[in-house]
Amino acid sequence: RSNAEKFEFQAEVSRLMDIIINSLYSNKDIFLRELISNASDALDKIRFLSLTDKEILGEGDNAKLEIQIKLDKAKKILSIRDRGIGMTKEDLIKNLGTIAKSGTSAFVEKMQTSGDLNLIGQFGVGFYSVYLVADYVEVISKHNDDKQYVWESKADGAFAISEDSWNEPLGRGTEIKLHLREEAGEYLDESKLKDLVKRYSEFINFPIHLWASKEVDVEVPAEDDESSDEEDSSESSPSEEGEDDSEKSDDGEKKPKTKTVKETTYEWELLNDVKAIWLRNPREVTDEEYTKFYHSLAKDFSEEKPMAWSHFTAEGDVEFKAVLFVPPKAPTDLYEGYYNTKKSNLKLYVRRVFISDEFDELLPKYLNFLKGLVDSDTLPLNVSREMLQQHNSLKTIKKKLIRKALDMIRKIAEEDPDESTDRDNKDVEKSGEEDEKKGQYTKFWNEFGKSIKLGIIEDATNRNRLAKLLRFETTKSDGKLTSLDQYISRMKSGQKDIFYITGSSKEQLEKSPFLERLKKKNYEVIFFTDPVDEYLMQYLMDYEDKKFQNVSKEGLKLGKDSKDKDLKESFKDLTKWWKTALAKDNVDDVKVSNRLDNTPCVVVTSKYGWSANMERIMQSQTL
């Protein structure tokens, strides 16, 4: 085209496109849900803007917030159109080719090792999946602030942008035309498209219409006498015309006759049920529906079920509905840039209208692994995001969400038969459901345990609730995970403190001289081997009125022993001499120990000093 401007794709984007084009990935279906998800995002954006400026939507069809899918079988073109916000010329250049998103290289890297193309949407590069099925793609777009433009590319390293003077004006929004590859003919099949929308895009909150064909019976004038055979007339209803016909044929005159033929007509067919799942009664929503809803919300199409969910309505001063999910797996970058990046995985709606998924006021950082949605009736609609962010009700919403989230996690543990302490004594009936819940909490702990620890550090209000969720191994846990409640239930009579030791591995700790006497006296000691545990124990001082005692630190009391005093007395001279001898190396004190059994002596940390393990961590700065 004469007015086309040419651009090169940014290098990483180009590599990504090569990977997609040459991919042997068999599930090419995913492109459709990516396009529908983009259309839905664009509709969310214009609807949000229209809250403060009604004019922005325009009139007539333009104001219809919908998605349309159309097929051109002859030309092998599949089009997806939305009346969303659209893209200006600059948007087209930036969003579709020249500015690589942070996820681009991460995704390319992933695809080179063991990546699953299915995850493309999570990396923010879903658009390019169109090249799984098309070899030439046109994006026609009209934004309120600009003219209508066409972006086009054959994925050969370059794309072109032209002012659009030949297509029908869109009014507003975007139409994506996929010129399907030879082997992608199946996407010209209406029933295939209907299936895909049902499967992947059921929970899109805008109507999705397909320009669907329909066979209808129509009466047409018969060309000659032969065509007016009996079969035909029996099909057609006895209309007035028919009566006319027979009258005239009695006269034996030549007259017009009719016959019924099948004709294909087209009409818009609605493919999804737009009723939002979170507005429904939780009792009427099936597990399968929640799972599918999670997949579309989290853009996680791994087919795995979420570990747990919580769907509730909050009433009172602040009213809202929410659905929270614990994903089946933690993303690999969950703790990357934990303290500096703003990440929130909750979508905020106000009275059914999507507002933002970048609100970090809804959940504390340590719960960022949850996915979900909040729909508030209390928050005002017609204010900016910044003003909403300041709104008082957000604090209440946050508080309730944390409670519900922690309840949901606690329930995973409660329902897990592996977690039950008196399991061996009970005749537990095995049901299918129980099988499914078995080992779920260990799975949760392995994926998200660190988040619980970060929560104990950060959230003083919920520290005790979070501590209940803590799991660890101990000198007596036999390689399994155990909890503080279980530890307490096994405490020896007269034992006041909860004993723990920190280090880099359980194997190393098991050999520690600090444990000798405790083991001999049959005390249980917790192993804390994660670097974050040192920080954790600076915040977790007590649990259920029991103090925590690091067994490598000063202050360990193992019950009174009458010999202790005598021993202390008889070694007085030695300890005194020793203390002066070591004074220049900053030893605080030298004492007769009651914690050793075979080892002659040990260096103990003072009560408020860093443990040896903490020194090690600070030196390597592992957190």
Partner residues linked to 262 by β-bridges: 217
489 assigned to a ligand binding site: no
Residue span binding ligand ADP (CB under 6 A) among the ranges 22-30, 122-130, 324-332, 342-350: 122-130
* 171 lines the binding site for ligand ADP (CB under 6 A): no
306 is a site residue for Mg ion (CB under 5 A): no
| Residue 346 interacts with ligand ADP (CB under 6 A): yes or no | no
For ligand ADP, the closer CB: 88 or 550: 88
Tell the smallest beta-carbon distance from residue 416 to Mg ion (Å).
Answer: 36
Q: Do the annotations mark residue 101 as ligand-binding?
A: yes
Q: Does 174 bind ligand ADP (CB under 6 A)?
A: yes
Q: Where are the alpha helices (DSSP H) in 53-96?
A: 89-93
Q: Is 103 in the site for Mg ion (CB under 5 A)?
A: no
Q: Does residue 95 interact with ligand ADP by CB under 6 A?
A: yes
- How many Å apart are CA 119 and CA 30, to the nearest integer? 9
Q: Which does 39 bind (CB under 5 to 8 A by kind): Mg ion, ligand ADP, none?
A: ligand ADP
The yes or no reply on residue 127 touching ligand ADP (CB under 6 A) is yes
Residue 18 C-beta: closest distance to Mg ion, Å: 20
Which of these segments, 77-85, 325-333, 374-382, 611-619, binds ligand ADP (CB under 6 A)? 77-85
Q: Does the footprint of Mg ion cover residue 372 (CB under 5 A)?
A: no
Q: Cβ of residue 390: shortest distance to ligand ADP, in angstroms? A: 27
**Facing residues of 267 across strands?**
212
How far is residue 384's CA from residue 508's CA, in Å, rounded to a whole number? 55
The phi, psi pair for 140, rounded to 5°, reads -100, 130
**Cβ neighbourhood burial of 32 (10 Å; 0-12, 13-18, 19+):** buried
Check if the beta carbon of residue 599 is closer than 8 Å to that of residue 548.
no
Cα(57)–Cα(63) distance, integer angstroms: 5
User: Does the footprint of ligand ADP cover residue 93 (CB under 6 A)?
Assistant: no
> What is the C-alpha to C-alpha distance for residues 251 and 133, in angstroms, rounded to an integer?
62
315 CB burial (10 A radius; 0-12, 13-18, 19+): exposed
Q: Considering CB under 6 A, how many residues would be counted as binding ligand ADP?
A: 16
d(CA 31, CA 45): 21
Q: Please name which of 265, 266, 267, 249 lies closest in space to residue 257, comparing C-alpha atoms.
A: 249
31 binds ligand ADP (CB under 6 A): no
Establish whether 95 is an annotated binding residue. yes
| Closest alpha carbon to 530 in 471, 463, 600, 602 | 471
Which residue from 129, 102, 108 is spatially nearest to 38, judged by alpha carbons?
Answer: 129
583: exposed, middle or buried (C-beta count within 10 Å: 0-12, 13-18, 19+)?
A: exposed
Of 321, 299, 303, nearest in space to 312 by CA: 321
Selection from 433, 366, 440, 439 nearest residue 405 by Cα: 366
Question: DSSP code of 392?
Answer: T
Give yes or no for residue 58 binding ligand ADP (CB under 6 A): no
When binding is defined by CB under 5 A, the residue of 28, 30, 31, 38 that contacts Mg ion is 38
* CB of residue 69 to ligand ADP, shortest distance in Å: 13
Options 33-41, 318-326, 345-353, 479-487: segment touching ligand ADP (CB under 6 A): 33-41
How do strand 473-474 and strand 173-180 relate by DSSP bridges?
A: unpaired
Using CB under 6 A as the binding rule, whether residue 356 contacts ligand ADP is answered as: no
* Cβ neighbours for 431, distance < 8 A, ≥ 6 positions apart: none
CA 302 to CA 287: how far, in whole Å?
16
Q: Using CB under 5 A, which of the segments 31-39, 133-141, 468-476, 525-533 binds Mg ion?
A: 31-39
Q: Closer CB to ligand ADP, residue 94 or residue 565?
A: 94
Q: What is the DSSP letter of 231?
A: H
**Residue 40 binds Mg ion, judged by CB under 5 A:** no
- Which amino acid belongs to residue 431? S
* Residue with smaller CB distance to ligand ADP, 94 or 520: 94
Q: Is 282 a binder of ligand ADP (CB under 6 A)?
A: no
520, two tokens: 């001999």
Shortest separation between residue 228's beta carbon and ligand ADP, angstroms: 52
Stretch that binds ligand ADP, among 17-25, 37-45, 251-259, 512-520 (CB under 6 A): 37-45
Between 101 and 546, name the residue whose CB sits nearer to ligand ADP. 101
Query: DSSP string spanning 18-35?
Result: HHHHT---S-TTHHHHHH
Q: Which of 84, 97, 103, 126 binds Mg ion (CB under 5 A)?
A: 126
Which range, of 32-40, 157-165, 255-263, 517-525, touches ligand ADP by CB under 6 A? 32-40
Q: Is 125 annotated as a binding residue?
A: yes
Of 31-39, 453-461, 502-510, 536-544, the segment contacting ligand ADP by CB under 6 A is: 31-39
**In sequence order, which residues have a C-beta less than 8 Å from that of residue 476 and are 6 or more positions away?**
490, 524
Say how far apart CA 193 and CA 271 lie, in whole Å.
Answer: 9
Piece of 78-86, 230-238, 248-256, 380-388 that binds ligand ADP (CB under 6 A) = 78-86
| 618: Cβ contacts below 8 Å, ≥ 6 apart | 610
Q: How far is the CB of 500 from ligand ADP (least distance, A)?
A: 44
Residue 550 sits in the site that holds Mg ion (CB under 5 A): no
Compute the least distance from the CB of residue 274 to ligand ADP, in Å: 18
Give the residue numbers of the binding site.
Answer: 34, 38, 82, 87, 95, 101-103, 122-127, 174, 385
| Site residues for Mg ion per CB under 5 A | 38, 126
Binding site for ligand ADP (CB under 6 A): 34, 38-39, 41-42, 82, 84-85, 87, 95-96, 124-127, 174
Annotated binding site for ATP: 34, 38, 82, 87, 95, 101-103, 122-127, 174, 385
